[in-house]
Each structure stands twice: as C-alpha cells, then as structure tokens.
Structure 1
Amino acid sequence: MLASTVIVTTLWCFCLLHPTSGQDCPSRQEIQGSLKQVQKLLSAHEASYLQSLRNLKKKINLLQSNVGKQTTRAINSTCPKLDVPINGRKLGKSHSVGHEVHFLCDPGYELVGSESRVCQESLTWSGQQTTCRDINECASSPCLNGGTCVDEVNQFSCICAKGWSGATCQSPVPTFFVTITNTSAATSPATAAASTLPAATTGPFVRPSRCTIVQGTTHCTCEPGYTISGRDSNTCTDIDECELFHNGQAGRLCLHACVNTPGGYRCSCPVGYNVTRDGRSCKDIDECATRQNNCTKDQMCINTYGGFQCVRVDCPKIPNATYVKTSPMRCERNPCPVDNKACSQTPNSFSYHYLAVVSNLSAPRVMFRVSALRPMGDTLRFSLLGGRQARRHFTVQRSDRVTGQLMLVSPVQGPATLEAEVEMSELERRVQLGRYITKVTMFVSQYEF
C-alpha cells in the first residue's frame, strides 16, 4: 500500500520535470483520483491497525487479571481456622487443601458432629461442626430416698438425705440406744426427770453416753457414729463404718479405700486421683492440663486415669519411601517416582491415636472408627494388623460402606498398654490404589473407677 503511494508520487513528479518526454503522463484529475484511493487505503489500514492494538491491550489486561487472581488464590488457599471444642482436643494444625483435622473429647463427654474434617478445594471444611457434650449420668435418677445426684466424669455420686447411706442411698443408717430400768427408790420421779447420769471419756474413739432418767427408767443415747459399749451404758464406743458396711446390703462406702475416724469415716484415693465432692468417689487428675508432668517440648502429654504418658510421634522409616509429618499425629508419604513401583505399594499415610480407659472395661465395645471421606476406588477394605496380643483383645468390623471400627472383644486388667493397627485399603477392580494405617495405643489404668 505504501509502495503504491510512492510510485504515483514519483510518476507525477517525473512528468512535471520532463514534460516533453515520450511517455504519456496522466492528467491532474487521474493523479488526484489515485491519491484519494491511496488515502482511503491508508485510512483503512490505520483503522485495522488501531483495532488490532486495542484487542492486544484487552488480552494483556485479561492475562494480568488472571495472574492476579491466581496469586490471590495461592496466598489464600487455606480453609478457615477451626476452633478447639470445649472439653475436647483438636489434632492437626495444617489448614491447606487436602489436609484433615481430628477431634477428641475429654473423658465424660461425647462427640457431636464430625470426628474428622477435610479442607476441600472450595476452601470449606467437610462434615459438621464438632462439639463435646457432657454425658449426664444422673438422667436416670439413680439416687433413692431423697438423695441428690451429682454428675461426675464417667460416673455419678449420691448425696444422701439424713438417715440414709450407700452408693444410691438405698440403706438406712442404724440408730443405737439402750433402755435400762432403774430399781433405786431413792430418786423421786420429779427429780429423776431432770437428772443426767455422768460418764467418762478415755479417748477419741470413746465418748460418754447421754442418759436421762424418766419415771424410774434410764434412757442412754450416743452421738452419731458411736454405740453403747456392751453392758456399760455410760460409755459409747466408735462404730467402724468401714467394717460394718464393707460387705453389707448398703454397698461399699468408698470406691477405693475407707479410713475409719472417730465418729465417722473418710474415703481416700490412690495417687493420681482426688476425692470428689460427695466424699466417696475418686476423680482423675489431669496432669497434662494442670502441667503436673515432665514431658519435654518434643513430646506430647497424654492424660491417663491415675497418671500421664509422654509420647513422641516420629514418622516411620520404610525402604523405598519417605514420610513427612503433616500434623502432630499424622505422617504422609512424599510423592513416588513414576517408575518406582515399590514406593507406590507402601502406605500413603500413618495416623496415631491414644486412648485412656479404665481397667476391666466391659466388652464388646467400639473403641475407634476409621472412615474414608472421599473414596477414590470402588471398594474399601478394613483389616487388623499386629501380632497375637492385638488379635486377642481386638477385632475390626465394618459399620457402613466407608467406615470400619476397632472393637474391644475382651476386658483388659490394668495396668497395661495395648497397641492395634487398622489398615484401610482402597481398591479399583481389585487393584490397590492406596493404603492408610491408623495406629491406636490404649493405656489401661490399674483401677476400675
């Protein structure tokens, strides 16, 4: 287009300089017509060029906008922070897409909501909000004869009304008195009605009786917790409540140990427990919450009944694979090379969980559940790993299509520590897609309360 303009202009200039040449020069009108056509072509080219320039700017702006959005998403590609439920714990600190957190409730509380939640690609958490609800052992009104029920952790206690005792206030408290006929005629009825017989005290377990003479008959009574000693109506001796109610229908006065005291008794608890408000039960001391433990910074404190355990979770060392800790209780396998088949056969992850239970816990009982939140294959398989000891006390059952549960099949006498491994395998047309190992450690206390 530009070349045409140059040719027309050159030709016109040549004719002006050499008017007598043998060439036929175009007229002025023809030259003006050619110039107008050239001008139109230049205008069209300029418009096309400007339109292409505008389209290029739009594409550049669009690319810049997309890059900005991707950068913003990369910065904010985490799910919102999940709060730790009251009276419970949260295991897992990573809020990145694909990572999961687990929730556990303290003893005496039951979990409501999702036990595990996964950060999804939409930057929202799967499942429902988790809370820990108190288990109300007083809901069935176990205290009798006007007793008041006190809800405790994993148990209840009864504050009995006056005149009743026992674990559920089912037994009356015995009253001791004696009536003696006075044969002495020296005391008139009027004098006898206001007289009180003297008595002596020889120690904290002996008290004087309170005697009155009414119309020739002596009535002697003792303070609560004492009884008339044999034929001596003037002396009251202490009642050994620990011995009296040890095997009676009233049941045991104390869940652990009973100590007889002058006029009463008190209950004591083993190391690691405190006496509850009712004075007869024992409540575990949480050494982890009260910092009464000696765990180091690289260890995690696990409260147990009557004590605590310091545990350290280290990722396993397996040939052909490497693992990295993604949360305090979870290790995940690093990506395997494409040609490394041995690496792809190793477990995808290891999860570690610790349970505290009392001795002689009734069985069968569900101890732990393992679920697949986003199954990839067409089949899930659950199995129990470990040796003879694990299979002696545990088994694995399927509760639904995506959940397996670890079952305690026989009571365990404490103190003891049991370990079990639950393997969850994902299959697609019988071809293994992934393996996930959950290691459960159970600390069994020495006592049953």
Structure 2
Amino acid sequence: CDHTCTDTSTGIQCSCREGYALEDDSVTCSDINECVLATHSCVEGQICFNTLGSFTCQRLISCGTGYELTDRNTCDDIDECQLNIDNCGDKLNCINIRGSFRCVAKSCDAGYFTDAVGGCIDIDECILGAHECADGETCVNTEGSFNCIQRPSLTCTAGYEISDDGESCIDVNECDRGTHTCSSGSTCINEEGSFRCQDPIICTPGTRPSSNQRSCIDIDECEDPLIHQCGEGARCVNVPGSFRCECNRGYRTTFQGSRTRCQGKVFQINLAKKSYHCGDKNTGRLAAIDNYLGIHINECALAAGERCMYRCRNSPGSYSCVCPSGYNLERFDGTCTDIDECNTNQHNCSRSETCFNTRGGFKCVEITCPAHYARLSNRKRCVRQSCKAATNKRSCIRLPKQISHHNISVRNNAAPGTTLFRMSLAKGYPKDRYYFMLTKGNEDMLFRASKRRFKKRKSGIVYATRKLTGPKDYVVDLTLKLYRKRRWATFISRLYIFVSEFH
C-alpha cells in the first residue's frame, strides 16, 4: 500500500490519506485535484492552486501600498512609524494609520507658523499688519515677535543714515568712522553711499601722484628756475617726464656737459623788413652775417607743436596751444583740462534739473522720483518709502528699493571692454544670490553686464562691447536682483553715458 495498510478478517486492505484517492489497483494513492473537481473552499476574489494532498486559495488582487500579505493569505497593515520607513523627518511626528501614516507638525511657539515640511517659520507681524504699534511708531520685526520703536518711517539704504531732523538720508563717512575695510597701507576715500580703497601709487621720475591718488601726472620743471636752470637767453619747455632748454631767437646753442647754454643776442630787429642784425651782446659789434634775411619758422610743424594736446596755432615768430570750448589750457605744457561747469556754477540748468558734467560741456537732466519714493539730499538717489500705508502692500514690496542716477563721461572712440561703471554690494552673506542685468536702454546690445569681485566685495560691472564713437548720449538701467534672508530685493542704477567728441 502507498499510504495505509489495514489487516482485516478477509485480508489486507489499502487506504489513502485525506486529499488522495485509491486507484483501481487498490494499492496506489493519487492526488485529488480539488481545483478541477471544484471541491475547494476558495471564495470569490480568490483563485485555487492545487497542491499534493490539498489546495491553496490565493488573492486575485495584491494587498496594495501600506499592507503586506501574510502566510494566512490576509493583508495586514504596515506600521511605517515603528519600522522607521516614514519621511516625516526630525521636524514632524509620525502617526500610523491603516494603509499609510501621517506626519503631524510639532507645535511651534507663539510668533511662528508651521510650513509644509514642518519647520517653524517666523511670522512677520509688521508686513501682515498683525502688530499693535501706535501711530507715530514703526514696527520692526524680530524672531518670533516684533518691536514698536519711535522713529520715522523713512528707511535708508546701506551707506546712508537718517539725518538729525529725520527728513532725509545722508551719506555715512565710513573713512571717518573707521568702519571701512581698507587694508593696511591703503587710503580710504569716502564716496556717496560707499567708499573706495586707494592703494599707494608709485610714479616714475619726472611725475608725481595726482590729487586723487589715481594716476601719475607730469612735474612741470619749468615752473621752478632752480630746477631747470636754463639761464638767460633760453626758455624752458616741459615735456612728459622731463624738460628741455631751447634758445630764444638771436641766441646760439652751446653745451656745457649735459646742460644747454645760449650765447649771443640780437640787439637790432626790423620785423617790418623781416630782417635782423646779429652781434655780440657785450661788444655790440655786428657779426659777419649782417643783414641776412630772416626766415619765418612754423613751430607747429616741428616738434614744438607736438606739445599741444588739441591744436597748435602758428603766429609770426612764435606759436600757441589752443583748446576746444569747455576746456582750459594748462600753463606751459599745452594740456587741455575739462572745465567742471557744474561745480563752478557755470551751467544754466534750472532748479528742477541736475547738472551732469561731461568732457567739454555739461548736461541738464530732469530727475524725478516715482510715486512712493523719496529723494535723498544729493538729488541723484530715490529711495522707496515704507509700504506700511500702501493700498497694495505686495505690489509695493516688489518695487525697487532704490533708484540711483549716475553720470558717466567717456572720451571719443573708447575701446571695447573698458569698464564704465561698477556696482558693489555693501555687505555680503554666504547664502546671497544676486544677478546683474541691463533692463533698459540696451536694445542694440552695445553694453554688457557681468559679475566681478572687487576688493573682496561682490560686484557687477558694465562695459561696452564695441568702440564708443561720439558725440552721443545713452541712458541704460543696470538692475541688481538680490535674494537675502528669504526675500528678493531690487536696486536700479540709471547710467547716463555721455560720449564726447574729443579724445
């Protein structure tokens, strides 16, 4: 027998275990397929699988997310919280529910609200108007609360402070207060709303530092006879980095070492006949070349005319250097320096206009501040006022915090790549995000803005992509977008670029 053998009075009898059937030979046991014979006990939604001596019922549909199939063929809930497979993180509490879990925010203190990921975020009571500050007080937000302080609603940007009368913003002199960041050996120079560090300048012999310490200028040795020592009968001619002695008419040139000396003098000149008599100064005796015809010399065509920066004007027996309108002729060296009509009050701008000095002239610019802006004392900067009383606070906050106006005077045919303007962040934080872009007046892509580091400060510069040919004027807006402390702020520098017709 395959399974069970039983001894009876009539002989041996074979039998099979449950789930099997005895074959016709009365010895062999074969499996009963309950699934085929439909003798199983599977319910609707289950499928029958035959096994040796039995069967199993398997669910047609899986248990789904949040459940697991047990060996009892049932679906049990998975406790994600206990198994630490939730994604609530440290800021949220995990609570298990059937088939899933729930992240519940931990309670935040007063003055904070819970964000989408369970963090406690400070409530800005000042922007939401949820403060209790009285009229005449200004709300200042703090972490978890706010303060009411007695001060004007006018706020000043970095580099400025409220004046004593509380009506305007005045420049902070970082150099006098010692709040600058200039390194040892550098000179702090205060500017409107900021400062700059001037490194010591080293000049070559014959030159000296300029008054603003930005460049080297020529020393005019001709101003001091003790320096040039050209002597009688000679005139001193200043040249870049040095000087030379030239003999006057009627003197002959001699050399004593490296020095130029002039001897002999004309003592009788007849300009009407264009003739002269040469003789010795001491004896009065005429020289053998008496009554030779004098030849008029055009100094402008010679090396002497090269000292004139703008134009040389020849005259009988001499020459002079001239400058275009708007420039002054510097004595001795023929240099033309721009006249600052704005500082010297030689302009004709009205009271409502701002004078911008240019190379060889000036421009009168009407600067008006938009609504909700206050003009600072220097008339070139507009600062957004407090948005507390604004009808639409959200739109007010999105306005630029500051609009500043800048005068940029450029010589004719300025080379491409020349830096025209630099804009720096007063302070920098590691998580700052900032962008510089030209948002107005650059339709022909003549200018470009890019990020730069200047004196370890985050900065942006504007430069020309092509040669600037004058005379021509441009008005370009450089916009700074700064993301700091979870907020975006916008600053605009309006650049008035005046390209001169002169080099």
Letter in 1 for 2:321: C
Distance 1:379 1:134, change over 3 A: closer
Quick one: which of 422, 434, 437 aligns to 2:478?
Answer: 422
Quick one: which of 285, 289, 299 aligns to 1:241?
Answer: 299
Name 1:272's counterpart in structure 2. Answer: 326
Whole-Å separation in 2 of the counterparts to 1:426 and 1:397: 13
Name 2:437's counterpart in structure 1. Answer: 383
Distance 1:389 1:158, change over 3 A: farther
Letter in 2 for 1:101: D
SS at match of 2:300: helix
Whole-Å separation in 2 of the counterparts to 1:413 and 1:295: 26
Whole-Å separation in 2 of the counterparts to 1:298 and 1:220: 74
Contact 1:166 1:252 in 2 (8 A): no
SS at match of 2:446: helix
SS at match of 2:452: strand
Name 1:283's counterpart in structure 2. Answer: 337
Pair 1:324 & 2:373 matched: yes
The Cα offsets for residues 142-178 of structure 1, whole Å up to 9 and x where unpaired, read as 57xxxxx896997547456547757435788589999
Contact 1:375 1:426 in 2 (8 A): no
Distance 1:355 1:93, change over 3 A: farther
Whole-Å separation in 2 of the counterparts to 1:165 and 1:142: 14
User: How many residues are matched?
Assistant: 308
Structure index of larger Rg? 2
Distance 1:174 1:293, change over 3 A: same
Whole-Å separation in 2 of the counterparts to 1:293 and 1:98: 26
Name 2:90's counterpart in structure 1. Answer: none
Pair 1:442 & 2:493 matched: no
Whole-Å separation in 2 of the counterparts to 1:402 and 1:198: 71
SS at match of 2:422: strand
**Pairwise CA distance, 1:428:** 5.6
Distance 1:279 1:372, change over 3 A: closer
Higher helix share: 1
Whole-Å separation in 2 of the counterparts to 1:341 and 1:267: 62
Quick one: which of 450, 460, 464 aligns to 1:404?
Answer: 460
The Cα offsets for residues 162-214 of structure 1, whole Å up to 9 and x where unpaired, read as 477574357885899999xxxxxxxxxxxxxxxx99988353x92413157xx
Letter in 1 for 2:501: Q
Distance 1:314 1:135, change over 3 A: farther
What are the equivalent positions in structure 2 for 1:17-416 lying under 5 Å apart?
A: 74=150, 94=163, 101=171, 112-113=188-189, 115=191, 117=193, 139-142=203-206, 156=218, 158-159=220-221, 161=228, 162=230, 165=237, 167-168=239-240, 201=270, 203=272, 206-210=274-278, 219=287, 234-245=292-303, 252-316=306-370, 322-327=371-376, 328-334=379-385, 335=387, 341-374=394-427, 378-388=432-442, 391-399=445-453, 402-416=458-472
Whole-Å separation in 1 of the counterparts to 2:462 and 2:172: 17
**Pairwise CA distance, 1:364:** 2.8
TM-score, scaled relative to structure 2: 0.48
Letter in 1 for 2:483: L
Whole-Å separation in 2 of the counterparts to 1:91 and 1:446: 36
Whole-Å separation in 1 of the counterparts to 2:317 and 2:450: 54
The Cα offsets for residues 361-394 of structure 1, whole Å up to 9 and x where unpaired, read as 3453333222233568631122222354663244
**Pairwise CA distance, 1:348:** 2.8
Whole-Å separation in 2 of the counterparts to 1:402 and 1:97: 31
**Pairwise CA distance, 1:251:** 7.0
Contact 2:355 2:363 in 1 (8 A): yes
**Pairwise CA distance, 1:432:** 5.8
Whole-Å separation in 2 of the counterparts to 1:272 and 1:238: 32
Distance 1:428 1:220, change over 3 A: same
Contact 1:360 1:414 in 2 (8 A): yes
Higher strand share: 2
SS at match of 1:236: coil
**Pairwise CA distance, 1:77:** 11
Name 1:186's counterpart in structure 2. Answer: none
Distance 1:114 1:425, change over 3 A: farther
Letter in 2 for 1:333: R
Distance 1:332 1:76, change over 3 A: closer
Letter in 2 for 1:422: L
Whole-Å separation in 1 of the counterparts to 2:319 and 2:250: 21
SS at match of 1:238: coil
Whole-Å separation in 1 of the counterparts to 2:169 and 2:269: 78
Whole-Å separation in 2 of the counterparts to 1:379 and 1:390: 28
Contact 2:448 2:462 in 1 (8 A): yes
TM-score, scaled relative to structure 1: 0.53
**Pairwise CA distance, 1:140:** 1.7
Name 2:183's counterpart in structure 1. Answer: none
**Pairwise CA distance, 1:267:** 0.8
**Pairwise CA distance, 1:92:** 9.4
**Pairwise CA distance, 1:94:** 4.9
Distance 1:198 1:282, change over 3 A: closer
**Pairwise CA distance, 1:116:** 5.2
**Pairwise CA distance, 1:268:** 1.0
Distance 1:310 1:276, change over 3 A: same
Contact 1:178 1:219 in 2 (8 A): no
Contact 1:394 1:407 in 2 (8 A): yes
**Pairwise CA distance, 1:438:** 0.9
Give structure 2 stretches of 5+ with no counterpart: 1-136, 138-148, 174-185, 223-227, 253-264, 281-285
Whole-Å separation in 2 of the counterparts to 1:390 and 1:276: 39
